[in-house]
Amino acid sequence: MGIDLPFIWFIIIIFSIMMYIVMDGFDLGIGILYPTIQGQSDRDLMMNSVAPVWDGNETWLVLGGAGLFGAFPLAYAVVLDALAIPLTVMLFGLIFRGVAFEFRFKATPKHQHLWDKAFIAGSILATFMQGTVVGAVIEGFPVENRAYTGSYFAWLMPFPLFCGGGLVIAYALLGCGWLIMKTEGRLQQQMYRILRPLTLLMLTIIAIISIWTPLAHSTITERWFSLPNLFFFVPVPLLVVWSGWQLWKANQNSSHYTPFLTALLLIFMGFTGLGISLWPMIIPPFISFEDAASPPQSLGFMLVGALFIIPIILTYTFWSYYVFRGKITHEQGYH
């Protein structure tokens, strides 16, 4: 039996996207939460908590995009054609956020608020557009003769826009959990106070999407509710409910790690549900990852490089988080 190269590359890309969502989600979430905090010292603390690691997190986005381009060029072409506008806006948002990281601490007090606004706007824009892209992928793309035939504004539909708003809440929840884990005192208590409202919003959004997608797509309904699939997939919603309950109890127990770890589990379950709904389509509703794959020679050549670079990325990611572990205080400056 030969190696299933398209499947391996599909897993690599899914893994890269999941790593990006998990690792860049909480620092985008900090930008989303910025308007809830007014004190400059607490805002400094929020930014300092992710300053050593934020730029490395985006390595996974680059890896996923490059892998999609090389391994599944048809999917890359269709997605880039259909979603050129939201993807471009997302990149501008990431640029604004990245520039704000570096310039905010060098600005005079008179101009610091401008970089705060750039940080907030960049974080919200990038997150909203990422969610919109996910919603548009779930909705599917019309493709004829291996080319996208739909409108460039097809993403401006209720479901993709709702998913955009949902991801803003999801990243805010991750950011809230991160700050509870990394800070103490007044800022941590403020995060505890908004944890429950964010959890309730997140569970409501998950419930709405879980109802909306089966109603709109019969294939997703059949995938989830036919037997024996129902028995195999029922742990996903059960874990979502359990995660929500743990987040709801977290401020009662004053747990420092549970909110972040449980929020990660909640996001992972949402991503798992998305994968179950779409499998094996990479361009819903008709193009599978095997249909969109590059020739085996190309996939094999790229795999050699991927097997070399992915362990390096994992190693330096682990090391950077290990070095900057523990609580951060107001006395520590920008790294």
Q: What is the pLDDT of residues 244-282, one digit of tens each?
A: 888 888 876 677 888 888 988 888 888 888 888 888 888
Reported confidence tier of residue 289, pLDDT bands at 50, 70, 90: confident
Enter the pTM of the model: 0.89
Residue 104 has pLDDT above 80, yes or no: no
Q: Which pLDDT does position 161 carry in this prediction?
A: 93
**E-assigned strand segments in 127-221:** 143-144, 147-148
Say how far apart CA 94 and CA 257 lie, in whole Å.
27
For residue 256, the model assigns a pLDDT of: 80
Q: Any idea where the domains of the chain sit in the sequence?
A: 5-324
pLDDT at site 66: 87
**Region 116-145 average pLDDT:** 89
Q: Would the pLDDT of 304 be above 80?
A: yes
Torsion of CA 258, 263, 208, 10, to 10 degrees: -140
Interatomic CA distance for residues 128 and 30, integer angstroms: 14
Band of pLDDT at residue 330, cut at 50, 70 and 90: low
Q: What is the mean pLDDT of the chain?
A: 85
Q: What confidence tier does 117 reach under pLDDT thresholds 50, 70, 90?
A: confident
* pLDDT value of position 168: 94
Predicted confidence at residue 332, as pLDDT, reads 59
Residue 126 binned pLDDT confidence (cut-offs 50, 70, 90): very high
The pLDDT value given to residue 333: 54
CA 335/CA 328 separation, integer angstroms: 11
Asked if residue 223 has pLDDT above 90, the reply is no
How wide is the angle at C-alpha 143 spanned by C-alphas 62 and 298, nearest 5°? 45
pLDDT tens digits, residue range 169-210? 999 999 999 998 888 888 888 888 899 899 999 999 988 988
The per-residue pLDDT for range 139-152, each reduced to its tens digit, is 888 888 888 888 88
Beta strands 287-288 and 281-283 are: antiparallel
Q: What is the pLDDT of residue 17?
A: 87
> 24 or 333: which carries more pLDDT confidence?
24
User: What is the spatial distance between Cα 158 and Cα 145, in angstroms, rounded to a whole number?
Assistant: 28
Which amino acid, 9? W
- Residue 63's CB is within 10 A of a number of other CB atoms, namely 21
Provide the 3-class DSSP secondary structure of residue 108.
coil
Residue 331 pLDDT greater than 80, yes or no: no
- Residues 126, 94 contacting (CB under 8 angstroms): yes
- The pLDDT tens digits for 14-47 are 888 888 888 888 889 998 998 888 877 888 888 8
